[in-house]
Amino acid sequence: MKRRDFIKTTSLASASLLIPDFLKALGNTKPALNEKKLVVIQLSGGNDWLNTFIPYTNDTYYKLRKKIAIDKNNLTPLDNTLAINNSLISLKPFFDSGEMSVVNAVGYPNPDRSHFRSMDIWHTASKSNEIITTGWLGQFLDANCTSSREAIEVDDYLSLALKGEKYKGLAFKNLDQLYKEVNTPFFNDIVSANSMLNEGNQGYLYKTLIDAESNIKYIYEKNKVIQNNANYPNNNFAKQLKNIASLIQSNIDTKIYYISIAGFDTHVQQLNNHNKLLQNYAESVSAFINDLKQNNLFNNTLIFTFSEFGRRVEENASQGTDHGTAGNVILFSGALKQKGLLNTLPSLTDLDNGDLKFSIDFRSIYKNILQNWLQTTKEIIGDRSIKTFEIV
């Protein structure tokens, strides 16, 4: 950026920052409720998708998983090739009503089996031998948004997925506590005193601070009037989804919500643990969807679930599974264009070093979400050979 342009943009930015954002927002007639919302759910650790959606008519599955296979009493068929683990049974109604899509064999070329590297690849939509320092949703913020609050992560710290060059999403777990922290005399003093923003790092720090402060206050003010009495299961993940539902109801202009659940790295004695994790996920998401439906928000909300990789087809010696490659992604919305099971299952015998071969590049799903749901015209997925995989 040229110096002049910078001065232009920062002076504009600081002038608008002088008006507290929550006041700006009160006068804002933008019908945010009709805007499309994306909720991303990350299953951290590498979910065992083969025990989530089970190829129950394939003998190879039972042969390779003698100790940890989901037996036929504990699953419910979705069609004649794939069944859903009964731990996820609370989601089945959405599958039946065309509000849930499952994509099989999602991955990328030259898969990396390291958690953090593969997570990076999913977060930045990079090729496996390419390093990108901004996330796919962060790049969307840069291209289409005017504030960091347009992407919120329900966590203490921000994931790479939501970090752009210009804008980095807002992360918080406890809005009330955060509000208290930025509403001290000290904060108010330095925020109100600093109208002069220079173009160096000092200016950047104050810009980030002022932005955070006004965004937190705006969200807090809008959110405090919302009473969410919907029923959710009693666990942390469900509690956070409930908070997201309230935030969506509060009509703030946030487009993206991001949340993770950990514990999916099931190397050892996985059967019961994994089923519990799945049940926890399914019941919480189910409550969330019902809450959104009650408030007529489900047609405008897309829920996207992924994990950094699936797990090895064959069980290991500790009644668990090791790091693998391709897996599923799940999408929920009242506005899906393609519903149900969207493609064929990967082969359980034609493997890449014991792991499933992918057939759908995850970036082709991102591309669909970015273009058709978040409606950006910017080409965020750099690789043009990636075709859109049509879901929404």
Interacting residue ranges for another protein, rule: CB under 8 A: 44-45, 115-117, 119-120, 129, 131, 133, 148, 156-158, 160, 163, 168-174, 177-178, 181-182, 186-187, 189-190, 192-196, 200-202, 204-206, 208-209, 211-212, 215, 236-237, 261-265, 267-268, 318, 320
Phi, then psi, of 261 in degrees rounded to 5: -125, 135
Residue among 307 and 364 whose Cβ is closer to another protein: 307
C-alpha to C-alpha distances, 75 to 97, 263, 283, 332, nearest whole angstrom = 19, 22, 16, 20
Rounded CA-CA distance 140/62 in Å is 43
Residue among 8 and 180 whose Cβ is closer to another protein: 180
Shortest Cβ 232–another protein spacing (Å): 16
Sign of torsion over alpha carbons 70, 71, 75, 80:
positive
Shortest Cβ 390–another protein spacing (Å): 32
Q: What is the DSSP string of 73-138?
A: GGEEESSSS-EEEGGGGGGHHHHHTT-EEEEEEEE-SS----HHHHHHHHHHT--TT---SS-HHH
Rounded CA-CA distance 312/351 in Å is 10
Pick from 298, 285, 282: which is nearest to 241 by CA?
Answer: 285
Shortest Cβ 214–another protein spacing (Å): 11
Rounded CA-CA distance 257/152 in Å is 5
Shortest Cβ 85–another protein spacing (Å): 19
Pick from 137, 81, 144: which is nearest to 346 by CA?
Answer: 81
Residue among 76 and 194 whose Cβ is closer to another protein: 194
Pick from 115, 167, 125: which is nearest to 145 by CA?
Answer: 167
Pick from 215, 210, 197: which is nearest to 10 by CA?
Answer: 197
Rounded CA-CA distance 29/253 in Å is 11
Residue among 173 and 357 whose Cβ is closer to another protein: 173
Residue among 104 and 159 whose Cβ is closer to another protein: 159
Pick from 233, 228, 136: which is nearest to 175 by CA?
Answer: 228
Pick from 59, 50, 129, 135: which is nearest to 346 by CA?
Answer: 50
What is the bridge-based pairing of β-strands 151-153 and 170-171?
Answer: parallel
Shortest Cβ 209–another protein spacing (Å): 6
Shortest Cβ 380–another protein spacing (Å): 19
Shortest Cβ 291–another protein spacing (Å): 21
Residue among 281 and 389 whose Cβ is closer to another protein: 281
Residue among 99 and 355 whose Cβ is closer to another protein: 355
Shortest Cβ 61–another protein spacing (Å): 23
Residue among 190 and 335 whose Cβ is closer to another protein: 190
Across-strand partners of 105? Answer: none
Shortest Cβ 81–another protein spacing (Å): 31
Residue among 206 and 373 whose Cβ is closer to another protein: 206
The DSSP letter of residue 156 is: S
